[in-house]
Amino acid sequence: MKIYTLSFSPRLAVYMISICWMGNVNAQNNDPKLIDQAATKETIALFNHLHTLSKDHILFGHQHATEYGHGWYGGDNRSDVHSVTGSHPAVIGVDFSGLSGRTDALIEKEKTALRKIIWDTYKRGGVTTVSWHFNNPVSPTDFYWNDSTAAAAVKDIIPGGGYHQRYKSILATIADLVHSIKGADGNPVPMIFRPYHEFDGNWFWWGKGHCSREDFISLWRFTVSYLRDTLQVHNFIYAFSPDCTFNSENEFMDRYPGNAWVDLVGMDDYADMGRDRYDTAAAIRKLKIVSGFAEKNGKLAAFTETGLESIPNPEWWTTTLLPVLMTKGLHLSYVLVWRNDSRSPTHYYAPFPGQVSVPDFLKFYKDPFTLFEKDLQGIYR
């Protein structure tokens, strides 16, 4: 066992103590286990560390954090969070939206960009989570539902549908990318893959109003099976995350594909966290449903998306978000806030130098409960 000296920060020392206890935690019978029995050792390690850390900490994440930020695009080793705190977020969100519905040349360009972002995050010791704002494969529209042009595509891309072969080709493109992103030892880089999120709403073409429960479950199961069993992708942690429209475990499970098909359960909730209202009691109640379900069913849990656009509340981090995350009984592996648009003056969810919530965000960063990239050590070992 490696010996750590007292020169480490208190935040890191607490983290390393939790790592040392990993062996005892893994001995418990009710531990979560990956649904992929052939998962790479690095993916298993990440999964187990996320489980252990969720008992006393939470990883902070930011969508597209190192791709672009408020007023900038591109650049090496840059993020708005890093500019404020000196550390990148522990979890970096990327998107596979650019891997279909475009020319082959543009898809290859997107692969190159994603490969670098994901590899750089892994090399630094951070975690990648992947959303999929998948453009409608049947009608010439984007991922949002439009009553006049969008097709109810789910029934057409599942087995037996007229566009099923096209869907298999899109999944093969994803597999080709993830197979190509490898660590120094040649093993593929682990990722949390979160397809078809917010499926309980109607704003995406895969939403509840545009496909049956049975067809959505068929889509989910086929997606996992084809990636894992046919295309031999063994570095995914599969995440299931509705929006915050549920009020009971039965409602949360309405389109759940079954324990054999999900590794992590989560929830996206902007509405209760200040966008529509400040109702943190409602957010906590829903997160308890998510966390409780995870504990009973051997899954990880996460607050997969949240945030307050423009962060006009200068104390939002420590008076709204942090008390929710620290609620007794919640065991969430990470929380992710949405992106900072590079061109919009108002569309941002993490602070940047000079933004009004910076002092409060620094308090959030320094709290021992929250973990950022600099706090992670050996999460893939």
Catalytic residues: 198, 305
The residues, any chain, with a CB within 8 Å of residue 226's CB and separated by 6 or more, are: 168, 171
| Alpha helix (H) residue ranges in 4-153 | 10-20, 22-26, 41-53, 80-85, 104-124
What CA–CA distance (Å, rounded) separates 295 from 298? 6
Cα distances (Å, whole numbers) of residue 114 to 97, 165, 281: 11, 25, 37
Per the CB < 8 A criterion, the answer to whether 222 and 265 are in contact is: no
- How many contiguous H segments (helices) and E segments (strands) does the chain have? 13, 11
What CA–CA distance (Å, rounded) separates 125 from 5? 20
H-run or E-run covering 180: helix 164-180
What CA–CA distance (Å, rounded) separates 92 from 68? 12
H-run or E-run covering 286: helix 280-297
What CA–CA distance (Å, rounded) separates 78 from 16? 26
Per the CB < 8 A criterion, the answer to whether 54 and 333 are in contact is: yes
For residue 230, the SS3 value is helix
